[in-house]
């Protein structure tokens, strides 16, 4: 078969339908994608992360399509957050009709061999190494994998990530190639960031994403920790389309390579541009964990909540595996009346649509809550979020 891409004999057999119709269609999808983007071959992947998991976003047509597929993932593959915590959906106030459809989506993915981790932070659960080729689709996870871990993935759509999971390969183009991973512009941050936390770095990402668009930025003037890098990348992928960024002296490829930055556009960022995003508007609820909390974030929330009781709904989101491994910390958070939910988040769950305004500590949630939940969003530090929730 003439495809314009090099395919090995096994690929040819799959395309000929020898491994079933679903795998045949999935490989045909990947080959078509590869041809559009000029890929010369497919590359084996070590894992997939599949979006299109909340019934809120995929609806009946998505569910029908998933239910029509018949194959099993051949690499470790996890699911993105869904519209509810699977074991505690009633507690979150989810409508039973929605829960039934969401459970059908989950069952369809389970039948395809996708792990029901339901998280945008699969890197806390399964090892992802420098140089690994992946097919991940959630934008913050893609940004973290590329930028912080030095793995290689394009930002896949839900169907192409699922196709890659079922075939074990993805077309080798874009960010799978070293030549496409070099900085395309420079962001000079002129601010004293020594006291910054996750919210300030998230706000930086929120601001920077609008300026960067879909280019690869190279940051100077900041030294973020991994959770802070997670916050920058998630927000930049929301207000822009940034799937990879470098931070001087911090991210792995910026440490390994000597990039020639001469001739690149340099955009300055001033403290004032970040500070003015922190507005003091009244809120009905507080939600943290976008992207899903790390163990360190859960510990910080528990420390700030010690001896306090919430007076406003306080939602904390994390992967089920992270919650299980940090059960005592989670118990102490929930003693305050806050709820720590797995599988879902403030953006993809319909339960959050009941609030007129939500306080978050995430630049990504600041960008998405107004569109996806219909309410206003306010960003504050994690300490401010706890103060507002317990005030």
Interface ranges with ligand F3S (CB under 6 A):
81, 120, 138, 140, 234, 290-292, 317, 345, 347-348, 364-365, 368
What CA–CA distances, in Å, run from 63 to 119, 321, 331? 19, 26, 35
Contact 216, 237 (CB under 8 A): no
The residue among 173 and 317 lying less far from ligand F3S, judged by its C-beta, is 317
Contact between 162 and 50 under an 8 Å Cβ cutoff? The reply is yes
Residue 166 or 352 with smaller CB distance to ligand F3S: 352
CB of 204 to ligand F3S, least distance (A): 16
| DSSP code for 78 | E
Distance (Å, whole) CA 41 – CA 31? 9
Nearer to ligand F3S, 348 or 388 (CB): 348
Question: Do 372 and 81 meet the contact criterion of CB atoms below 8 Å apart?
Answer: no
What is the enclosing helix (H) or strand (E) of 275? helix 271-275
State the Cα–Cα distance between residues 21 and 326, nearest whole angstrom. Answer: 42
Q: Which is nearer to ligand F3S, 197 or 289 (CB)?
A: 289
Q: Which is nearer to ligand F3S, 34 or 85 (CB)?
A: 85
Minimum CB separation of residue 154 from ligand F3S in Å reads: 18
DSSP per residue, 191-235? S--TT--HHHHHHHHHHHHHHHTTS-EEEES----HHHHHHHHHH
Residues 163, 58: Cα–Cα separation, whole Å: 17
Which is nearer to ligand F3S, 232 or 290 (by Cβ)?
290
Query: Whole-number minimum distance, CB 365 to ligand F3S, in Å?
Result: 6
**Minimum separation from the CB atom of position 370 to ligand F3S (A):** 13
Q: What's the closest the beta carbon of residue 190 comes to ligand F3S, in angstroms?
A: 28
Q: How far is the CB of 307 from ligand F3S (least distance, A)?
A: 28
């Amino acid at each position: 078969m003439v495809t314009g891409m090099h395919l090995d004999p096994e690929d040819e057999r799959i395309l000929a339908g020898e491994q079933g119709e679903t795998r045949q269609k999935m490989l045909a999808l990947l080959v078509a994608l590869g041809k559009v983007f000029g890929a010369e071959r497919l590359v084996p992947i070590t894992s997939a992360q599949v979006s299109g998991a909340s019934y809120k976003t995929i609806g009946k047509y998505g569910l029908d399509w998933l239910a029509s597929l018949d194959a099993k993932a051949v690499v470790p593959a996890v699911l993105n957050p869904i519209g509810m915590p699977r074991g505690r959906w009633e507690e979150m106030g989810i409508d039973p009709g929605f829960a039934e459809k969401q459970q059908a989506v989950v069952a369809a993915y389970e039948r395809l061999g996708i792990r029901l981790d339901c998280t945008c932070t699969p890197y806390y659960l399964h090892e992802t190494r420098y140089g690994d080729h992946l097919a991940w689709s959630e934008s913050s996870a893609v940004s973290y994998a590329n930028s912080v871990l030095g793995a290689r993935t394009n930002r896949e759509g839900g169907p192409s990530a699922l196709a890659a999971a079922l075939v074990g390969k993805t077309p080798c183009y874009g960010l799978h190639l070293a030549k496409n991973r070099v900085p395309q512009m420079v962001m000079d941050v002129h601010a004293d960031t020594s006291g910054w936390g996750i919210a300030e770095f998230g706000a930086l990402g929120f601001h920077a994403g609008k300026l960067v668009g879909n280019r690869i930025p190279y940051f100077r003037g900041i030294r973020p920790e991994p959770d802070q890098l997670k916050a920058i990348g998630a927000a930049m992928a929301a207000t822009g389309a940034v799937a990879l960024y470098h931070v001087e002296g911090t991210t792995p490829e910026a440490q390994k390579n000597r990039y020639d930055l001469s001739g690149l556009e340099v955009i300055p960022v001033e403290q004032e541009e970040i500070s003015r995003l922190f507005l003091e508007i009244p809120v009905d609820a507080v939600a943290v964990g976008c992207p899903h909390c790390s163990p360190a974030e859960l510990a910080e929330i528990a420390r700030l909540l010690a001896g306090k009781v919430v007076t406003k709904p306080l939602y904390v989101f994390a992967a089920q595996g992270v919650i299980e491994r940090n059960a005592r910390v989670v118990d102490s958070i929930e003693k305050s009346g806050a709820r720590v939910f797995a599988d879902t988040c403030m953006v993809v769950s319909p339960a959050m649509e009941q609030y007129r305004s939500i306080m978050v500590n995430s630049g990504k949630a600041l960008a998405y809550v107004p569109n996806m939940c219909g309410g206003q969003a306010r960003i504050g530090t994690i300490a401010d979020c706890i103060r507002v929730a317990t005030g």
